[in-house]
Structure 1
């Protein structure tokens, strides 16, 4: 009888911790891996070695910005890819709804529609971003990247800045 009660107590605590963990990662913050070099040098600046193994950056994603879609120029955001909903991407916001932007690659000017934003990777030569698929709906954004939390030698805040050579507001 005591073993059954102990197992029930353990299962109850495990379930409660799981639900609480899901609530926190859904509403407040989570950790996400950064794959690829599209955000280099800000994220994954090169081959980081930890005890001889290559490691990707892991970042803290805060979700408070999603309550009213409060974003600023230069925010690094995590979003679902507009072409493949199973894929998550991390890019920097360079234009917000209603702004006119000029793309140097196509010598084109366009207005970002309401409810959308324009995102670009810091490493333009290695980035699939709004220059490829256009403005993304704000509803696809899952949060704002605030800090690198792994590997230990890269722990720190992510600076909010706008790339100078890829896009300009008109």
Structure 2
């Protein structure tokens, strides 16, 4: 039978590993599961049995260093418990011609325009407008 000192040592090591893991996943990188088909065929192709997982690097969050074409994870503007994965189409200051309504939109500072790769099954900036930088996760 193990001594109390042994269990105390195990508990300290588990706590240390937990704190380090939490710090790494919060500040540097984490793994996230992708569900839904709004980013198909890039993620979760229609015929795929397995869900896709992505490594989310978080270094760009410090300075909001994003560019067109980047795939981002952000909190839903309508439900802050949901996370969405979309591609950045336009950056702050860009003018964007909307194909379905023939309108032109200026992307305000602190926002970006995001769209899913599968237009038919994607709820994105076309329905909710530009996404605020404060929602980037």
Q: Structure 1 length as normaliser, TM-score? A: 0.78
Shift of 1:77: 0.3
* Cα-to-partner distance string for 1:5-57 (whole Å, 9 max, x where unaligned): 11111110001100100000001100111111100111111232xxxxx2110
Corresponding position: 1:83 with 2:63: no
Gaps of 5+ in 1: 49-53, 143-170
Question: Which residue in the other structure is 1:95 paired with?
Answer: 90
Q: Which of 96, 105, 111 is the matching residue for 2:100?
A: 105
Q: Quote the Cα distance in structure 2 between the aligned partners of 1:60 and 1:82.
A: 23
Q: Which of 60, 64, 67 is the matching residue for 1:69?
A: 64
Shift of 1:139: 1.5
- Asked which structure has the greater RCO (Cα within 8 Å, sep 6+), the reply is 1
More strand by share: 1
Q: Structure 2 length as normaliser, TM-score? A: 0.96
Shift of 1:97: 0.5
> How big is the alpha-carbon RMSD for the aligned residues of Structure 1 and Structure 2?
1.2
